[in-house]
Amino acid sequence: MIGSIILTLALASSIIAMIMFYLSYRGYNNTLNIGRIAYHSMAMLVIVASTILWYALLNHQYEYKYVYSYSANSLSTGFLLASFWGGQEGSFMLWLLLTSIVGIILQSYSSKRGDLEPRVMAVFTLATSFLLVMVSPLFKNPFASIWAEPVFLNAKSINPAYFGMPFLQSFMFSDGSSGQNFVKMSAELVAVLKGAGISLNQFIIDGKGLNPQLLNFWMQIHPPILFIGFSMATVPFSFAIAALMKNDYKDWVKQSLPWVLAGSGILGLGIMLGGYWAYEMLGWGGYWAWDPVENSSLIPWLVGVASIHTMLVQKKSQSKGGPGKYIKTNLMLSMMTYILVLYSTFLTRSGVLGDASVHSFVDPGMLVYLFLVIFISSFILLGVGMIVYRWKTLSQEPPADESILSRELALFTAAIVLCASAVIVLVGTSAPIFGQAVDTFFYNEMHLPLAIIIGLLNGVSLLIKWKQSTTQELIKKSIISVAASILFTVILVIAGLTDLMMIILAFATSFSLLVNLEIAVKIIRGNLKMLGAYVSHIGIALFILGVIGSAFGSDEVDIDLIKNQPKEAFGYEMTFTGIEPIENNTKYAFHINLKEGDKNHTISPVMYISDFNNGLMREPAILSMLTRDVYLSPLGYEEGGDDGHNHGGSTVTLEKGGTTEFNDVKINFNEFLISGETMTAMQTGQDFEMGAALTAEKDGKKKEFKLKLISKQGNRELTSESFPDLNMKIELVNLQAGNIQVALSALDNSQPETTAPKQEVLSVTASIKPYIGLVWIGVLVMFLGFLVSVARRLKESLV
């Protein structure tokens, strides 16, 4: 309740700030200070609201629907903090929080640069206002009460002390197919509980927990970094509109540039951390699958980076006086970056990608969908409207005539190539809106030529000067790099690279790497602050080389590892040495010894049954080395020996869907037979019966049968079933939530034929990924380059 009130106050402050900043821009004198106070109060209120949400998560206040849905008692403090952004409401909240903080810095930054502040902050507070409406009680409010809409809670999360309460019975439901019980949480139940003097936090004692795939170290840092990048994308948009408001296009470029650089660097890092998470956790074997969620954050990044290139041209061309070249391009790209962030949010939060992504998105409802559409449309209209409004001034830009060998044209072409890449990803990712989908080869094939152009440009543009270079000069300068790149490519071809396009790409990339390295070395001896661009481009070249290596040099094989019997793969002797329960026996680590020559490494893929979704979860294990990774993704495991399989007269516990074997008869436990009436009868002490449906199968012949638990006047009776033709008797021993126990015996009392003890087998997909480390190193180097550039451009923005 208090959280919603605070967020509503924040919304009011944000709107007041927006109006006050706008009035200051219109020339009112006393409004600027009110705007500043209003903005800072808004930011403070958002920080307080976020703290309340964190507090509720840490203290397990399951009266909040959000806390119940995305956290649980068993989560560690780190994951409890991270469950803040486990769901939609919270991720909007995180976005809002980070945007508010970015705004505090932006306010201080813009107040030191002329009359910039009122204009920039008026646009910026429009964005915060929209986000605040998003988390308001109307839409995705993280402080919604659990009973606001009737919801079914798993009986496991209800305090068992209250199970006996007679009033609860009319709120109990049972799901026949899973055998689980639920409590219908609604306003009526809350009223009843209140009457009985029970608080919601006493009644609900555990939450649903976080999706196990999110329980990973990278999950704790990937979303916040990504959202910092998203939040910072608001800034270039604000600067562009501010320039249009003033109708002056000279200063905004240098003022905006440090923000674009910092934002793109952080967003890029965030995207790649997501890729690393996928690689390490999801066991796809890769870091990038062109999944819509990955794609949708890549699109604004590409456009943002494109805008950096053309903004540099504008800034450089200002030395001749005037606002410089590419004004329209820069304004549009700056605005597109943020609009694409919003579009990305729309794609991933509106439910349109329902069937297209590994991330599951449930339709958030028509209202939210509409609001997202309004959100994006407002910013598009604002941007387009302002450009149209100022078209007369904008089209006065002197015609830019670049010679082919000028750095201006090279930079412009780079921006075009980056935008082309953005268009490809946008088209592919948006296809599900029209009920279509594209195969990943669409992205791969389209990007290959683009990557080649990027590599060549990346090298050539640095060798040519601003304005004009002569061909001879270029040849002279590039001859060493070209020769070395050819040599490098030939080595790769000898090493086994056969695809023609890949060979060209390898050449282009190594060329750009060498040129950038050469210049970087020269700079290190001279002026260090100029280093940024070269470091970034070395990063991208290393990244592409890593992609070539890991995508085309990788190899994969499925192997069965019998315990303690070494098997050879990729030059390693792999031995499955045993299982170890980890993390309080909730997971199992499967130790595998990798022997290469006289070096031994042990890595351990993990498998476990998740309580969250009752599914088998698998986590890969990676042995990272300088030149390659060995990647082991578990497929399955067969217990060996004396474990209830294949021997007579034993009791076996079967989970729903589980299978066991007895004398070559396969027995399958299909489902529980429990009806709603049974539940009521059970609780009121009347007679009832419930049971389990099973199938016995031998030589392709199937028999379906039922085993029952019948309760008559308090006496329990358990049924059994005999199959003379299968020489098997099966008795129900116990039936409880989640599983049944059955006793299996032979009818003729003969001992079943003794089979040799089964071997313990672990099946894994082993793959080798050469130079995948370059992918991560490349991105980190690129990020570093961005930081250096930010430092340089920050100084220039004050001049």
Partner 1 sequence: MKNKYIFGGAIIVLFLSLMVYLFTQSNIQYEEDFAVVKANGKTVKATGQWVKEKNYEVNKEQRTFSFYLADAKGVEMKVLYNGSIPNNFESAVSVVVTGKYENGQFHARDILTKCPSKYEEQYEEVKTTTSVM
Among residue numbers 690 through 729, which ones bind partner 1 (CB under 8 A)?
Answer: 690-691, 693, 695
Is residue 173 involved in binding partner 1 (CB under 8 A)?
yes
Q: Which of 142, 207, 270, 283 binds partner 1 (CB under 8 A)?
A: 283
Structure tokens at 358: 């590994």
**What HEC string does 116-151 produce?**
HHHHHHHHHHHHHHHHHHHCCCCCCCCCCECCCCCE
Q: Which of 175, 248, 661, 664 binds partner 1 (CB under 8 A)?
A: 175
Query: How many other CB atoms are there within 10 angstroms of residue 594's CB atom?
Result: 22
Q: Rounded to whole angstroms, how far apart are CA atoms 639 and 761? A: 7
Closest CA to 602 of 618, 613, 591: 591
- Read off φ and ψ for residue 678, nearest 5 degrees: -55, -45
Is residue 88 involved in binding partner 1 (CB under 8 A)?
yes
- The piece of 302-310, 476-484, 523-531, 664-672 that touches partner 1 (CB under 8 A) is 664-672
Helical packing angle, 116-134 and 88-111, nearest 10°: 170
* Cβ-based nearer residue to partner 1, 26 or 702: 702
Show the binding pattern over residues 504-543: x = contacts partner 1 (CB under 8 A), - = does not: ----------------------------------------
Show the binding pattern over residues 223-262: x = contacts partner 1 (CB under 8 A), - = does not: ----------------------------------------
- Is the distance from CB of 240 to CB of 334 less than 8 angstroms? yes
* Cβ-based nearer residue to partner 1, 437 or 517: 437
- Is the distance from CB of 24 to CB of 123 less than 8 angstroms? no
Q: Rounded to whole angstroms, how far apart are CA atoms 601 and 594? A: 5
- The piece of 219-227, 357-365, 386-394, 491-499 that touches partner 1 (CB under 8 A) is 357-365
Show the binding pattern over residues 541-560: x = contacts partner 1 (CB under 8 A), - = does not: -----------------x-x
Q: How far is the CB of 654 from partner 1 (least distance, A)?
A: 13
* Cβ-based nearer residue to partner 1, 402 or 473: 402
* Cβ-based nearer residue to partner 1, 96 or 282: 282
Q: How far is the CB of 674 from partner 1 (least distance, A)?
A: 8
* Cβ-based nearer residue to partner 1, 45 or 214: 214
CA distances from 715 to 299, 638, 689, 690, 718 (A): 66, 39, 11, 14, 10
Show the binding pattern over residues 760-789: x = contacts partner 1 (CB under 8 A), - = does not: ---x-x------------------------
Positions 428 through 447 that interact with partner 1 (CB under 8 A): 428, 431-432, 435-439, 441-442, 445-446
**Residue 187, SS3 per DSSP:** helix
Closest CA to 330 of 351, 312, 357, 347: 312
Positions 612 through 641 that interact with partner 1 (CB under 8 A): 613-618, 635-636
Is residue 600 involved in binding partner 1 (CB under 8 A)?
no
- The piece of 170-178, 300-308, 313-321, 378-386 that touches partner 1 (CB under 8 A) is 170-178
Q: Rounded to whole angstroms, how far apart are CA atoms 84 and 570? A: 42
- Is the distance from CB of 308 to CB of 264 less than 8 angstroms? yes
Q: Residues 162-169: contacts with CB within 8 Å, 24+ apart?
A: 162/198, 162/203, 165/196, 167/192, 167/196, 169/680, 169/683, 169/684
Positions 672 through 691 that interact with partner 1 (CB under 8 A): 673-678, 689-691
* Cβ-based nearer residue to partner 1, 162 or 442: 442
Positions 127 through 166 that interact with partner 1 (CB under 8 A): 151-154
Q: Rounded to whole angstroms, how far apart are CA atoms 126 and 335? A: 14
Q: Which of 114, 657, 685, 757 binds partner 1 (CB under 8 A)?
A: 657
What residues contact 770, with CB distance under 8 A and at least 6 apart?
A: 549, 550, 553, 554, 627, 628
**Residue 748, SS3 per DSSP:** coil
Is residue 395 involved in binding partner 1 (CB under 8 A)?
no
CA distances from 315 to 54, 319, 413, 792 (A): 44, 8, 17, 14
- The piece of 176-184, 465-473, 491-499, 518-526 that touches partner 1 (CB under 8 A) is 176-184
* Cβ-based nearer residue to partner 1, 431 or 777: 431
Q: Which of 21, 130, 361, 590 binds partner 1 (CB under 8 A)?
A: 361
* Cβ-based nearer residue to partner 1, 163 or 173: 173
Q: In the chain, what is the greatest distance between 2 CA atoms, to the nearest angstrom?
A: 103
Positions 189 through 218 that interact with partner 1 (CB under 8 A): 211, 213-214
Is residue 187 involved in binding partner 1 (CB under 8 A)?
no
Q: How far is the CB of 789 from partner 1 (least distance, A)?
A: 25
Q: How far is the CB of 357 from partner 1 (least distance, A)?
A: 8
Q: How far is the CB of 428 from partner 1 (least distance, A)?
A: 8
What is the number of residues in the chain? 799
